[in-house]
Amino acid sequence: MKSKRLAWINSSYFHILLSYRWGKVEFVNIFVRAQVKAIATKHIQELEMKMMDIQSMLGTLKNLTHHCHGDNRPD
């Protein structure tokens, strides 16, 4: 399951995460940290957009099921 969660992380981002986890911060320079932040920020924005899309679909489905009579009527 962890591998699926990490699948979206590119190799440099993953390297930085491992470096921090194992205390090897000396290998991480400011430029790379800025790249990691940019990558993470982009992923946050993408996830937020997906959440908005899903919330919109959920609202539509709730509205449809609320107004659905559950019988064979076409309306």
- What are the residue ranges spanned by the domains of the chain? 2-67
Q: What is the pLDDT of residue 13?
A: 59
Query: Vertex 56, ends 67 and 60: CA angle to 5°?
Result: 15
**29 or 37: which carries more pLDDT confidence?**
37
Q: Would you say 17 and 33 are in contact if contact means Cβ atoms under 8 Å apart?
A: no
pLDDT tops 50 at residue 31: yes
- Average pLDDT taken over every residue of the chain: 74
Stretch among 6-10, 31-35, 47-51, 52-56 having the lowest mean pLDDT: 6-10
Q: Would you say 2 and 18 are in contact if contact means Cβ atoms under 8 Å apart?
A: no
Q: What is the pLDDT of residue 55?
A: 97
